[in-house]
Amino acid sequence: MKLLRWGPKGAEKPGMLDGETVRDLSGVIDDLSPATVTLESLAKLRALDPASLPAVSPGRIGACLSRVETFHAIGLNYRLHADETGNPWPKEPIVFAKAASCLAGPDDTLVIPKDSVKTDWEVELGVVIGRATEHVSEAEALGCIAGYCVANDVSEREWQQERGGTWCKGKGAPGFGPLGPWLVTADEIPDPQALPIWLKLNGKTVQDSTTGDMIFSVAEIVSYLSRFVRLVPGDVIVTGTPSGVGLGMKPPRFLAPGDTLELGIEGLGIQHQTAVAYPG
C-alpha cells in the first residue's frame, strides 16, 4: 500500500493511493499516526477494497505521518559520502536525533533558518517502525518495519560541526524533516538495500546512488538501535545519505533563497522543495 496525508497544513486527512487516484481514508482512520501505523492496523487497511473509498483531489500532500514519536538518524552511512567528507567508515552506526518538530510535507517550502550560513541537503531512506521492538536480531529486524518513505535530512553544517556539542542542533530546525509523499508499506519493498536514490539541485543531479552503498543495512540499523532504546510504532529512522551533499563539494555549496531541490527513491515517490529566506 501507498498511504499519504493530504490537505492544508494542520488539517490533513489520511489517504490511500489507488493507481493514480487518491482515496479518502478519513472514514476509516482519523490520521496516519503512531496508533494507525502498527502492523495490526496496516493489516486491516490492506484488507480494504480501495474502490469502496471516496476519490479525492488532494491538493497539497502533507508529511506521511501526523507526528513522529522519535526521529532517529544515522550519520556517515554511505561509503562514498564518508569518503567525500574525509571521514573513516564508522565501525558502529553513528546515531543522533532530529527534533520531532522538524517534520514537514514533501513539497513544503524550505525556510533557511535565521542566521544559517551552511544549510545543506541529504536525501535519505526513511524507515517507519510498526511494532514495539527491543533487542531484535538482524534476521527479524525487517519484520518490525511498517514501511518506508523518502526523507530529506536537511542539515545546518556550521551548527552541526562548528558550534560544539552534538550534531542535534544542526538537524532539527523547523522544516528540516520532510517525509513522503507516501508511506509505502514494507511488503512492497522486498529489498531495502536495492533502491536507487537521487537528488537534483536546480535541475542538476548531485546525488545519484543506491541504498546498496550503505555501510550498515536497514536490518543492521534497526537491530543495533533496539539494543539501546525501545523502538515503538511511529518512530522514524533516517538511514544516511549518499555522496553529493553540499558539504562535500569543492568548494562547498550550501542552499540559498531560490534554490530548488527534487529528490526521490525508486518506488517511494519524489519530493520538491524551494528554499526561501527566513522571514523578517
- Cell of residue 169, nine digits: 542542533
**Are 189 and 197 a contacting pair, CB within 8 Å?**
no
Span 139-157, average pLDDT: 98
Span 201-206, average pLDDT: 98
Model-wide pTM > 0.75: yes
Whole-angstrom distance, CA of residue 209 vs CA of residue 123: 10
Whole-angstrom distance, CA of residue 122 vs CA of residue 240: 8
CATH code of domain 71-276: 3.90.850.10
Peptide bond into 181 cis (omega under 30): yes
What would the pLDDT profile of 159-190 be if each residue is shown by its tens digit? 999 998 888 999 999 999 999 999 999 999 99
What band does 137 get if pLDDT is binned at 50, 70 and 90? very high
> Does the pLDDT of residue 214 top 80, yes or no?
yes
Backbone angles phi, psi at 222, to 5 degrees: -60, -45
> Does the pLDDT of residue 77 top 90, yes or no?
yes
Query: What pLDDT shows up at residue 86?
Result: 86
Whole-angstrom distance, CA of residue 229 vs CA of residue 223: 10
What would the pLDDT profile of 44-60 be if each residue is shown by its tens digit? 999 999 999 999 999 99
> How deeply is 172 buried, as exposed, middle or buried, from its count of CB atoms within 10 A (0-12, 13-18, 19+)?
buried
The rounded mean pLDDT for the chain is 97
Query: What pLDDT shows up at residue 247?
Result: 95
Per-residue CA distances from 201 to 9, 123, 159, 167, 270 (Å):
25, 11, 22, 24, 14
**Are 217 and 224 a contacting pair, CB within 8 Å?**
no
Span 229-252, average pLDDT: 97
Span 11-23, average pLDDT: 97
Sequence ranges of the chain with CATH classification 3.90.850.10:
71-276
